[in-house]
Amino acid sequence: MSKEVKELFSSEINVKISELAEEFLKTQKTKDVQIISHFDTDGITSASIIIKCLKRLDRKFSTLIVKNLTPEIISKLPKNKILFFLDLASNSLSYLSGLNQRVFIIDHHEITQDIPHNVCIANPVLHEKKEEISTSGLCYLFAKKIDQQNKDLASLAVIGMIGDSIENIGVCNNEITKDSDAVIKKGVRLYPSTRPLNRVLEFSSEPYIPTVTGNREGVFQLLKEVGLERHNGQYKSLIELNEEEMTRIVTAILLKRLEKNNENLIGNIFLVKHFNQLEDAREISAKINASSRLGEPYTAILYCLEESKAKKQIEKLYAKYKQMIIKGLNTVENIEKIRGSGYVIINVKSEISEDVISVVTTILSKSSLYSEGTVIIAMSHTNKGEVKVSARTVNRGRDVREIIGKTVSEIGGEFGGHKYAAGAIFNLDKESEFLEKLKKHLEIELVKI
């Protein structure tokens, strides 16, 4: 992209954000605002930015964090408030057209429907030249338009950007990272880069390092190979490594992940100020994510807003979550699996909680345990007598949404997702029928290829 085009884009979305800010300021000050945001890191940081901005404007508001925006949720929203959707709603526009109230949307997801008259939306996909930008980044630009004082929220935008794996520093993202005073260092994308390496390696799930992740002995072995030793009883952190040490550790990890896709192994480490300390943005993002997934998205927001009580609580949740993931990976390793050509079915039943099964499956698909193109299907029992299914493929391959969709349509249940990551839920009494039909589809699908 040429410099001129970049500037054109950045001005297009910036103009839209300014318009949205102006429109918002025109609304009655006495009207309450209902924020509705997504439960991932980008959504949580977006909500936090808007909350702080509204507080400074002395506006009344309430916040709702959701996993998916459904027509039911929309129909239950208060009718007398201004609605402010963040990191979602671009795909629910048709449900918003009937509402008799002002609607604002800041989002970056695809738009497939017409924009209703009552909706004011800022979304980069509407503009011709796109820089990938997180919703939190857009919210930050909005808050900054409203009041320059909000420049102190830039770190939250960087955290949201990392949470959505956006690391290309184009014009907008450059403005945001500059405002945040983030420290950027090139290296291996293990986090937290600020803590002793032995702990970081032990808990490393993305990237998953065979014989090292979840294995203390393996960790010490690797550090020994790399030639790193304890000083004053402690190993160095990633950001303390010199260039040569960084190269050695990258090489050692690569050797453990030989057959794997390692294109994301090296990248930028982002350090941002949070609670007055330089912290790894990836770790902050992981904490927010853990908190949300464990059912406490509002703790995550308070943590973003630097409430000290929330800090303690999120540390607890994060520790619990990490343990759950590591335990989940170990369980999967030892459990009996159904193996076919090009697929593996892992039925963990009640051994891994439904909250972590999809994360564990994602990690497995990125680990070096299964060969390229393998379909991984994990099943777990919920406490409501249902079976939750998570399907992934290793570095792309077959359309798992189609396979899962076909199977579930035959036995009854719900399914969703996309080509390389799909999920489903159905009644426990259909489990054996599901397995039978699933195997058939996996075999048939393979024949077709």
Residue numbers of the site for Mn ion (CB under 5 A)? 42, 87, 135, 164
Min dist. Cβ of residue 132 to Mn ion (A): 10
| Residue 270, both tokens | 């982002």
Strand 375-381 versus strand 343-349 pairing type:
parallel
Specify the DSSP class assigned to residue 234: B
Is the Cβ of residue 88 or residue 253 nearer to Mn ion in the bound state? 88
Is the Cβ of residue 46 or residue 353 nearer to Mn ion in the bound state? 46
What is the CB neighbour count within 10 angstroms for residue 268? 16
Min dist. Cβ of residue 260 to Mn ion (A): 26
Min dist. Cβ of residue 137 to Mn ion (A): 9
Min dist. Cβ of residue 2 to Mn ion (A): 27
Min dist. Cβ of residue 16 to Mn ion (A): 17
Is the Cβ of residue 123 or residue 380 nearer to Mn ion in the bound state? 123
Is 400 in contact with 422 (CB distance < 8 Å)?
yes
- CA 254 – CA 399 distance, rounded (Å): 29
Is 289 in contact with 41 (CB distance < 8 Å)?
yes
User: Distance of alpha carbon 341 from its chain centroid, rounded?
Assistant: 31
Is the Cβ of residue 87 or residue 175 nearer to Mn ion in the bound state? 87
Instruction: Name the residue among 416, 195, 430, 439 with its Cα closest to residue 319.
Output: 195
Is 34 in contact with 61 (CB distance < 8 Å)?
yes
Is the Cβ of residue 166 or residue 222 nearer to Mn ion in the bound state? 166
Is 282 in contact with 264 (CB distance < 8 Å)?
no
Min dist. Cβ of residue 108 to Mn ion (A): 6
- What DSSP letter does each residue of 176-232 carry, written as one string? HHHHHT-EEEEEE--S-TTSBHHHHHHT-BTTB-TTTTT-HHHHHHHHHHHT---BT
Residue nearest to Mn ion (CB): 42
Is the Cβ of residue 159 or residue 252 nearer to Mn ion in the bound state? 159
Min dist. Cβ of residue 134 to Mn ion (A): 5
Is the Cβ of residue 47 or residue 377 nearer to Mn ion in the bound state? 47
- CA 269 – CA 375 distance, rounded (Å): 31
Is the Cβ of residue 136 or residue 390 nearer to Mn ion in the bound state? 136
Min dist. Cβ of residue 38 to Mn ion (A): 7
On the question of a cis peptide bond just before residue 210, with omega within 30 degrees of 0, the verdict is: no
Is the Cβ of residue 42 or residue 283 nearer to Mn ion in the bound state? 42
Min dist. Cβ of residue 160 to Mn ion (A): 7
SS (H, E, C) 289-355: HHHHHCCCHHHHHHHHCCCHHHHHHHHHHHHHHHHHHHHHHHHHHHCCCEEECCEEEEEEECCCCHH
Instruction: Name the residue among 96, 97, 121, 99 with its Cα closest to residue 109.
Output: 121
Is the Cβ of residue 138 or residue 408 nearer to Mn ion in the bound state? 138
Min dist. Cβ of residue 109 to Mn ion (A): 7
Backbone angles phi, psi at 39, to 5 degrees: -85, 0
Q: Measuring CA to CA, how many Å separate 185 from each of 164, 198, 238, 292, 403?
A: 19, 20, 10, 28, 42
Specify the DSSP class assigned to residue 9: H
